[in-house]
Amino acid sequence: MKIVTIIGARPQIIKAAALSRAIKNKFSNSITEIIVHTGQHYDENMSQVFFDELGIPEPNYNLNVGSGSHGKQTATMIAGIEDILLQEIPSAIVLYGDTNSTLAGAIAASKIHVPVVHIEAGLRSFNKAMPEEINRIMCDHVSTLLFSPTKTGFQNLQNEGFKAKNEKPFNANNPKIYHSGDVMFDNSLYFSEVADEKTTIISKNNLHKNNFILATIHRNNNTDEPARLNALFNALYKISEANKLDVLLPLHPRTAKLLEFNLEAELHQKMKASKHFKIIPPVSFLEMIALEKNCKIVMTDSGGVQKEAFYFEKPCVILRTETEWVELVECGAAMIADADERKIMEAYKTLTSKTNMKFPKIYGDGKAAEFICEEMLENLS
Ligand code: UD1
Ligand code: UDP
């Protein structure tokens, strides 16, 4: 069978590595993968670095859409993806997560009756102010095969009318839902073995094992609303100073640009002068894993980074009002602190003083990508 895989944003490029690896190792005789990069992310350290490092085949097509408003960016992608699908005539399109690249693939494919395979289906924040919530709901509801990484996601789909049990043939009117495990758990296991030996990020930044905070911030409401951005950076700065603890913050370009406009000048100056507060450009995935494995605690508004903290058995303060990965909070390994200075400081205290934290194996067996390939072959070819 021929599949067209759409990638565009950093986390999708990384997620796609798991399926490409499974195809190369086990399904090279039965699955041909055509990779389309929409160009949503384009800086070297937001895109190319992952191809170089993770063994993902270079894209067959790059739409080079770049940045723009949601409407313009998504529309340009839809037109480009439609042309490619009409030319390639694949058995399915494979979409990851909840970005504008995901939505564009879902619209382009479903309108011309190319079956949609959605990996990371069923996740919900129940907050439609988030662009990602719109993207994931719309993608799920035109999909034919939906692979949920979690039980909660599988249940969310049933709550929206998807049937847990139904018979072939599957199509957009009779979709099949699965609880498949998480392809990012596959990737984290696979790359964790080499992350320490292949990177120097810890020594390069003079960090000490289990003695620094790893932080990332890029969610649009956190970067675009000055009050939230200032509360987040104030909390990080205060925790760092009070505990004489390094904070390492590989900064998404969106946040880097908005710091200049939205952060209070005095706080910005203090951060720059601090020997503990280290802002660096985005890092590679292997570097990120090394940081996650060696930090004391993670503080993030990223979906992927929340989960990777859990994979590497680190506590996590979630810098959002809610999370789609509710199991992390239910297990007690993560706390939601919003962009609230007081809650963030309390969550830091609570999580760093906890003993006997539990990290149960709830994201599959590390073979989600192989399972997805088998099901695609069984049901779509
Ligand atoms: C997108 C996804 C988000 C995901 C994130 C992962 C949507 C709606 N959002 O958010 O779900 O968590 O990717 O990182 O799809 N920029 C650069 N260089 C780049 C890419 C972006 O400078 O290579 C800057 C541009 O100023 C751009 C801004 O970042 O306008 C936002 O980029 P965009 O892709 O629109 O959204 P993200 O915030 O990255
Ligand atoms: N990541 C990375 N380098 C960085 C920051 C994040 O490789 O500097 C990885 C991270 O390990 C995870 C993914 O990017 O696998 C998460 O992407 P991001 O936080 O941009 O998006 P989200 O998961 O919130 O959609």
Q: Which atom of ligand 2 is nearest to the CA of 50?
A: 7
Ligand 1 centre and the CA of 72: distance in Å?
14
Task: State phi, psi for 275 to the nearest 5 degrees.
Answer: -85, -10
Q: Calculate what percentage of the chain has a pLDDT beyond 70.
A: 100
Task: Provide the pLDDT for residue 196.
Answer: 86
169 prior amide bond cis, ω within 30: yes
Model confidence at 109: pLDDT above 90: yes
Task: Provide the pLDDT for residue 43.
Answer: 98
Model confidence at 110: pLDDT above 90: yes
Task: Provide the pLDDT for residue 213.
Answer: 98
Domains of the chain (ranges; CATH) run 2-182+364-380 (3.40.50.2000), 195-353 (3.40.50.2000)
Average pLDDT, the chain: 97
Q: Which atom of ligand 2 is nearest to the CA of 15?
A: 15
Res. 44 pLDDT band, cuts 50 70 90: very high
Mean pLDDT of 277-286: 98
Q: Where are the beta strands (DSSP E) in 100-180?
A: 116-119, 145-148, 176-179
The residues carrying an active-site annotation are: 218
Mean pLDDT of 184-212: 95
Residues 333, 335, 341, 345, CA torsion sign: negative
| Per-residue pLDDT reduced to its tens digit, 313-338 | 999 999 999 999 999 999 999 999 99
- Any alpha helices (H) in 180-330, and if so which ranges? 183-198, 201-204, 220-224, 226-243, 253-262, 265-273, 285-294, 303-311, 326-330
What tokens does 75 get?
Answer: 């529309």
Ligand 2 centre and the CA of 66: distance in Å?
18
Ligand 2 centre and the CA of 304: distance in Å?
6
Query: Which range has the worst mean pLDDT, 69-78, 190-199, 341-350?
Result: 190-199
Ligand nearest to the CA of 134: 1
Is ligand 2 within 6 A of the CB of residue 216?
Answer: yes
Ligand nearest to the CA of 224: 1
Model confidence at 231: pLDDT above 90: yes
pTM of the predicted structure, to 2 decimals: 0.98
Q: Which atom of ligand 2 is nearest to the CA of 304?
A: 23
Ligand 1 centre and the CA of 254: distance in Å?
6
Task: State phi, psi for 36 to the nearest 5 degrees.
Answer: -115, 120
Task: Provide the pLDDT for residue 381.
Answer: 82
What tokens does 352 get?
Answer: 């760093």
Q: How many Å apart are CA 240 and CA 249, to the nearest integer? A: 12
